[in-house]
Amino acid sequence: MRIRPATAAELPVLQDIERAAGASFRDVGMPEIADDDPPAPDVLERYRAAGRCWVAVDEGDHPAAYLVAEPVDGALHIEQVSVHPRAARRGVGRDLFAYAADRAREKGLTALTLTTFTEVPWNAPYYARLGFRTLAEADLTPGLHGIRAAEAGHGLDRWPRVCMRAPL
């Protein structure tokens, strides 16, 4: 799959990808996550307009996965990455992370960061295989503390969560 910036017209497709990818959380006892609304179009548009919303497209140039990110404390923070189940287990997520890492290096950022569930196989264990390491609470930057606080406010701490970092 080829990776490129998302277009404004594709934002509803990204929401559909998010819904389809999120459904698998039901299988691990997290129906609230499966039923969570995808990012709103205006939120996705902010990432897109800033040049930080990328899609993996199939041979017909249709998005099958996406990643949105923002700079946080000298790193590129992966806010969301979602792969449609029909494109899963083909390295699409890994390729999106590599693409984001290249864009981060171009901007002089030194790492990728993310927050994730520790006990979901396609979350923390997968990211560890991609070179991310769990950060201790004492190692969180001010921006990551803020992100974690916002997530807790949205009820995401009902399940074990961590911040992870991969140096570039």
User: Which tens digits make up the pLDDT trace of 124-162?
Assistant: 999 999 999 999 999 999 999 999 999 999 989 889 999
> Residue 32: its pLDDT value, please?
92
| Ramachandran region, residue 71 (left: φ > 0; alpha: ψ -120 to 50; beta: rest) | beta
Residue 81, strand partner residues:
67
User: Is the model's pLDDT at 89 over the cut of 90?
Assistant: no
**Cβ contact 95:83 at 8 Å:** no
Burial of 19 (0-12, 13-18, 19+ CB in 10 A): middle
The domain spans of the chain are 2-167
CB within 8 Å of 84: residues ≥ 6 apart: 16, 17, 20, 21, 64, 65
Average pLDDT over every residue of 66-72: 98
What architecture (CATH level 2) is domain 2-167? 3-Layer(aba) Sandwich (3.40)
The pLDDT tens digits for 40-64 are: 999 999 999 999 999 999 999 999 9
By percentage, how much of the chain surpasses pLDDT 70? Answer: 100
User: Where are any strands of DSSP class E within 7-157?
Assistant: 53-57, 63-72, 75-83, 111-117, 133-134
> Residue 118: its pLDDT value, please?
93
**Coil vs helix vs strand at 63:** strand
Average pLDDT over the chain, rounded to whole?
A: 95
| Contacts for 49-54: CB closer than 8 Å, 24+ residues apart | 51/5, 52/76, 52/103, 53/5, 53/6, 53/14, 54/3, 54/4, 54/5, 54/6, 54/96, 54/99, 54/100, 54/103
Give the pLDDT band of residue 1 (cuts 50, 70, 90): confident
Q: What is the CA radius of gyration of the chain?
A: 15
Report the distance separating Cα 135 and Cα 167, nearest Å.
Answer: 12
Give the pLDDT band of residue 78 (cuts 50, 70, 90): very high
Give the pLDDT band of residue 31 (cuts 50, 70, 90): very high
Four-residue CA torsion sign, 46, 51, 57, 62 = positive
User: Is the model's pLDDT at 102 over the cut of 90?
Assistant: yes
